[in-house]
Structures are given as structure tokens and as C-alpha cells.
Amino acid sequence: MTFKEDDSRIRRGHAAEVMNVLRKLALNTVKLNETRKASMKRKLKMAALDDDFRAELLIGAEN
């Protein structure tokens, strides 16, 4: 329930499966990052608010 999947209104076609894959990709990306010691929930919040950390997660850039 990290991304409030139960509240999702995606129901048509393959959209639900695609969103599931994207959620898993996001969680695994954050999980594999070891540059900062924080909980999964905290890392997701940092990625949402901090452009530098998000870039670090997505492209491996470190400042």
C-alpha cells in the first residue's frame, strides 16, 4: 500500500498491469539505492521533494 493502490481507479485494458510494473520499478529503484540511510517511506518522500535525489535515483548522478 505504498502508493495507495486500493484507491486507484485504473480499471480498463492493460492499464492496471502497466501501473503495477511502474510501481514495482519505482520501489526497486529506491530499494537498490544505498547512498542515503533512510526508510523506504522516507526515500520515496525525498524523491518526491528533492530534484537532486530524484536525479540520483534515475540516472545515478551524485553531487
Which tens digits make up the pLDDT trace of 1-55? 566 666 777 777 888 888 889 889 989 999 998 888 999 989 999 999 999 999 9
Task: State in Å, rounded, how far the first CA of the chain is from the last one.
Answer: 32
Asked if residue 19 lies in contact with residue 10, where contact means CB atoms within 8 angstroms, the answer is: yes
Asked if residue 21 lies in contact with residue 3, where contact means CB atoms within 8 angstroms, the answer is: no
Contacts of 38 (CB under 8 A, 6+ apart): 46
Give 49's Cβ-side CA count (13 Å radius): 6
pTM exceeds 0.75 for this model: no
